[in-house]
Amino acid sequence: MDPMDPETVIRHYAPTVYRLAAARRNGRALVTAPTFSEYENALALWDCSVSRFPLREENGFSVTEDILTAIVPGLDLLFLCEPNNPTGRTTDRALLERILEHCAACGTLLAVDECFCDLLDAPAEHTLLKYLQRYENLLILRAFTKSRGLAGVRLGYALSQDPALLEALRAHVEALGYPLVEISAAAHQGTRELVLRTAQLLQELPPVAVYEPTYVERPPEVDTDGAVDIQEFDGTWVVDAPWLQRLIANVNFGDYESRNWFDQKLRQSGLFDKLEEMGIKDGDIVSLYDLEFEYQR
């Protein structure tokens, strides 16, 4: 079967990690450490027992053949990130093949995250795509986000030849009330249905709320040139100035912009310069009538 056959494409990348964990709920899983944290987060959400294979500095944070001893019958799922996030390391191709074969012998699903594969110098020499036809226990995650520079968009897909896995994922997604649409742009399968379903959902969205702009009065000009009296009592600096009460009365301390305006006016008045000349330290308390705050340069 062609690796890009529509029956092979399961679902886009971001939810697939969680859907895959749901399909292996209460199972046993193995991840490398360090690696992409979403794997373990998803597995924990679905009560999977997670073991970690440590990537050691003396081995260049690469996967070694010691991982084969951690793959045993009863292990339901192994996540490998190729190249790994965050180390950027890839696993030796011959070792990857041995891991895949060993997983097949142990009945373990090998989920290989190739979302960064296209950024390698020779991605075709590292991907396991050609093994999809031979190994039903192989699932490959791919994404457009990194290779196509789609910042902020988690767009991708998963590939597998395991019909039981596809049905488990379908059952989980549809149980949540979401349709699962199998698509193939090459075969023109499912694309029209997906577009029509998307258009239908967009029509069901509530109308966009339109907010009228609110006029905000310009704050009054406050003359801050008057005298300032400052006294220090055991780390608390008490400030008194005739203009200070008028300034405070025009500040909405629940509004970020208003607080910024207040801070700007205090700095323009030279108050902070005076406090520093008198020896105020970070963490001291500044008391302005009913207002107190911790001083930070």
Which CATH number goes with the domain that contains 280?
3.30.300.350
Which of 186, 208, 241 is where one domain is finished?
186
Q: Does residue 207 form part of some domain? A: no
Beta bridge pairs of residue 230: 239
User: Is residue 157 domain-shared with residue 248, that is, in the same domain?
Assistant: no
Domain count, the chain: 2
Residue 8 has pLDDT above 70, yes or no: no
> Out of 120-134, 204-218, 253-267, which region has the weakest mean confidence (pLDDT)?
204-218
Q: Does residue 91 form part of some domain? A: yes
User: Is residue 238 domain-shared with residue 145, that is, in the same domain?
Assistant: no
Q: Does residue 59 form part of some domain? A: yes
Q: How confident is the model at residue 154 (pLDDT cuts 50, 70, 90)?
A: low
pLDDT at 149: 73
**Among candidates 91, 99, 83, 185, which has minimal Cα distance to 138?**
99
Region for 101 from its dihedrals, namely left if φ exceeds 0, alpha if ψ lies in -120 to 50, beta otherwise: alpha
User: Is residue 267 domain-shared with residue 139, that is, in the same domain?
Assistant: no
User: Is residue 258 domain-shared with residue 174, that is, in the same domain?
Assistant: no
* pLDDT tens digits along 230-266: 998 888 999 998 888 888 888 888 888 888 888 888 8
User: Is residue 178 domain-shared with residue 98, that is, in the same domain?
Assistant: yes
User: In this predicted model, which residue has the larger pLDDT, 282 or 218?
Assistant: 282
* pLDDT tens digits along 103-113: 999 999 999 99
Domain that holds residue 237: 229-294
User: Is residue 20 domain-shared with residue 164, that is, in the same domain?
Assistant: yes
Question: Which stretch of DSSP H or E encloses residue 139?
Answer: strand 138-143
Q: How confident is the model at residue 67 (pLDDT cuts 50, 70, 90)?
A: very high
Q: Does residue 137 form part of some domain? A: yes
Which of 159, 186, 213 is where one domain is finished?
186
Which of 186, 215, 244 is where one domain is finished?
186
Q: Does residue 8 form part of some domain? A: no
Tokens of 222: 């406050």
The CATH number of the domain holding residue 112 is 3.40.640.10
Quote the Cα angle for 289-292-295, to 5°: 130
User: Is residue 283 domain-shared with residue 140, that is, in the same domain?
Assistant: no
pLDDT at 200: 87
The whole-angstrom separation of Cα 125 and Cα 112 is 15
User: Is residue 24 domain-shared with residue 166, that is, in the same domain?
Assistant: yes
User: Is residue 96 domain-shared with residue 163, that is, in the same domain?
Assistant: yes
Percent of the chain topping pLDDT 70: 90
User: Is residue 84 domain-shared with residue 178, that is, in the same domain?
Assistant: yes
The whole-angstrom separation of Cα 138 and Cα 128 is 9
CA distances from 285 to 108, 230, 247, 260, 295 (A): 61, 12, 19, 19, 6
Q: Does residue 78 form part of some domain? A: yes
pLDDT at 152: 67
Asked if residues 23 and 165 have their Cβ atoms less than 8 Å apart, the reply is yes
User: Is residue 250 domain-shared with residue 113, that is, in the same domain?
Assistant: no
User: Is residue 134 domain-shared with residue 268, that is, in the same domain?
Assistant: no
pTM reported for the whole predicted model: 0.61
Q: Does residue 213 form part of some domain? A: no
Asked if residues 76 and 108 have their Cβ atoms less than 8 Å apart, the reply is yes
pLDDT at 148: 73
